[in-house]
Amino acid sequence: MPAFSEMAAPLTDLLKASSGAQKVKWLVERETAFNLIKSTLTSALVLRHIDPTLRTEVHVGGSQNAVGAVLLQWQPRESQPRPVAFM
């Protein structure tokens, strides 16, 4: 998923909390990020089952906030690769 780390940044910021228990502020930007990620991952175009006989690629990316990767496969009769797994 392109730009996933930027999309998820408001949520991953929650992991940077200081030590000890503290209350989490669920802000509008976090709700928006959560809903965007949820709708993207559950859309019809997302994951396919892996087929070890098909051409496979790994695409990685990173930013100051996170690192991510996607495992892609070229499906027969399709003009672009489809995601098999995200990290």
Instruction: Write out pLDDT tens, residues 15-51.
Output: 776 556 677 788 899 999 999 988 887 775 667 888 9
The H or E element spanning position 68 is strand 67-73
Residues 6+ apart with CB under 8 A from 21: none
Can you read off the two tokens belonging to residue 15?
A: 């992991």
Tokens of 44: 């019809």
Spatial distance between the Cα atoms of 80 and 4, rounded to a whole number of angstroms: 19
Prediction pTM value: 0.51
**Count of residues in the chain:** 87
pLDDT of residue 33: 93
